[in-house]
Amino acid sequence: MPLLLILWMVIIPDHILFVKCDSIKGPNFAAPAVYVLGDSLVDSGNNNALPTLAKANFLPYGSNFPTGPTGRFTNGKTVADFVAEFLGLPLIPPYLSLRGFAQANQPGLNYASGSCGILPETGKYIGQCLSFGEQVDLLQLTIELELPRLYETKEKLATYLSRSLFAVSIGSNDYINNYLQPIYDTRTRFSPQSFAKHLVDTLSLQLQRLYRLGARKIFAFEIGPIGCIPSIARNIKHSGQCVEDINGWVLLFNDQLSWLLKNLSSQLPGSNFTLGRIHGLAYDIAKNPSAYGLRDTSNPCCTTWANGTSACILGLPPCPDPNKHYFWDGFHLTEAVYKVVAESCIWNSSICSPNSIKELVTV
């Protein structure tokens, strides 16, 4: 079974301030919609409509989701779902389920696609998926062809877009389903430093496209410590819990991403780019699970192919208490971890900076 996707865990120093709240729901602020772009960490069902091995529209995926399996690569909700709930919005539907059909009171659309990445070739050996550039292409169709039908003037549409949130979670697969794969020659052409720069430069062009399309409030998440996920930690010889060399590679990307977002915010008038500094948080959860109500940070909750290093096996029951597990399958996190990440980013401006999501929707 080939590598499917990734997750987005990550590293921040031990002194992180973690804000715990009993309910993630909050008042309906000024954000009328959320538009989601990324990979399997936030895919809400787009891959269901694509010819690919990277699918999650079967049990035990969705075991704890209200309607069962949806195509989300976890047992329940993703970070994007929790953000939508906090804003008082319905869960954001996958673009391919609606084919871009915009509706009145549109709460946004989700363009994310499992196994794909920033680079157009990433993950394509698994099957068809939507690269980040292709997702922006589809968003452009939505903005230019569909949304104008709902607004009387260009000014009203521009206001709607400027108040909406644009969430980006992308990049992990460019390592897992590209740089680390022997079928690609990427590692012979790029050092870890130059590959990180190549990714950030490519991402920069697409983020600037989002701005030109009318996006003003954009939050982009770091890549997590992918050296800790079972699909890597169980397949590469190393000492300790995680393959720290690989974690170091993605930190090169994260550092450059931070500078990119700062530069874009200073150069593009009216823009607010926020960085989701979730690398350190997710790494801390993996190392200190009891502080977050977790117990197992090594084993997938579901029974997977290839000794815990791949996707869940169709129909087999998961572990009895997924809320105590860090990993859902060989690549992805459980809903419990996604909720911790979402809560932290919503409330804490040291995790999502310079603005927490709560602050971002009010600026």
Q: What's the one-letter identity of residue 98?
A: L
- Asked whether residue 227 is domain-assigned, the answer is yes
Instruction: Please state, in angstroms and rounded to a whole number, the distance separating the CA atoms of residues 143 and 158.
Output: 10
Over residues 122-126, the mean pLDDT reads 98
Q: Does residue 4 come out as left (phi exceeding 0), alpha (psi in the -120 to 50 range) or beta?
A: alpha
- Asked whether residue 294 is domain-assigned, the answer is no
Closest CA to 89 of 134, 47, 27: 27
More confident residue, 210 or 4: 210
pLDDT at 17: 30
Please tell me the pTM assigned to this model.
Answer: 0.92
What is the number of structural domains in the chain? 1
- In tens, the pLDDT along 288-321 reads 999 999 999 999 999 999 999 999 999 999 999 9
Number of C-beta neighbours around residue 207 at 10 A: 24
- Give the contacts of 225 (CB within 8 A, at least 6 positions apart): 9, 10, 11, 242, 247, 250, 279, 282, 283, 286
Over residues 51-55, the mean pLDDT reads 98
Q: pLDDT class for 98, splitting at 50, 70, 90?
A: confident
Evaluate whether 122 touches 184 at the Cβ level (below 8 Å).
no
Q: pLDDT class for 104, splitting at 50, 70, 90?
A: low
The β-bridge relationship of strands 352-353 and 34-38 is unpaired
List residues bridging with 276 in a β-sheet: 221, 352
Catalytic residue among 39, 271, 332, 356: 332
Residue 144 has pLDDT above 70, yes or no: yes
- Helices 279-287, 335-347: inter-axial angle, 10-degree rounding: 130
Instruction: Please state, in angstroms and rounded to a whole number, the distance separating the CA atoms of residues 122 and 173.
Output: 7
Residue 18 has pLDDT above 80, yes or no: no
Q: Which helix (H) or strand (E) holds 165?
A: strand 165-169
Tokens of 314: 């169709």
Instruction: Please state, in angstroms and rounded to a whole number, the distance separating the CA atoms of residues 192 and 175.
Output: 10
Active site residue 164: no
Evaluate whether 243 touches 30 at the Cβ level (below 8 Å).
no
- In tens, the pLDDT along 166-202 reads 999 999 999 999 999 999 999 999 999 999 999 999 9
Across the beta sheet with 34-38, what order do the strands follow?
34-38, 165-169, 217-221, 272-276, 352-353
Q: What is the CATH number of the domain that holds 143?
A: 3.40.50
More confident residue, 22 or 93: 93
- Asked whether residue 251 is domain-assigned, the answer is yes
Q: pLDDT class for 125, splitting at 50, 70, 90?
A: very high
Residue 13 has pLDDT above 80, yes or no: no
Residue 209 has pLDDT above 90, yes or no: yes
Tokens of 32: 């009328």
Q: pLDDT class for 346, splitting at 50, 70, 90?
A: very high
Instruction: Please state, in angstroms and rounded to a whole number, the distance separating the CA atoms of residues 234 and 19.
Output: 32
List residues bridging with 168 in a β-sheet: 37, 220
Catalytic residue among 310, 329, 349, 356: 329
Q: What's the one-letter identity of residue 289?
A: P
Q: What's the one-letter identity of residue 122?
A: T
Active site residue 332: yes
Residue 1 has pLDDT above 80, yes or no: no
- Asked whether residue 195 is domain-assigned, the answer is yes
- Give the contacts of 243 (CB within 8 A, at least 6 positions apart): 227, 228, 232, 233, 236
Domain span including residue 112:
34-283+335-361
pLDDT at 106: 72
pLDDT, the chain, mean: 91
- Asked whether residue 17 is domain-assigned, the answer is no
Over residues 311-336, the mean pLDDT reads 98
Residue 21 has pLDDT above 80, yes or no: no
- Asked whether residue 293 is domain-assigned, the answer is no
- Asked whether residue 354 is domain-assigned, the answer is yes
In terms of Cβ atoms closer than 10 Å to its own Cβ (0-12, 13-18, 19+), residue 13 is exposed
- Asked whether residue 183 is domain-assigned, the answer is yes
List residues bridging with 319 in a β-sheet: none
Evaluate whether 277 touches 12 at the Cβ level (below 8 Å).
yes
Tokens of 322: 């997924």
More confident residue, 106 or 262: 262
- In tens, the pLDDT along 235-278 reads 999 999 999 999 999 999 999 999 999 999 999 999 999 999 99
Q: Percentage of the chain surpassing pLDDT 70?
A: 90
Active site residue 15: no
Catalytic residue among 40, 164, 169, 271: 40
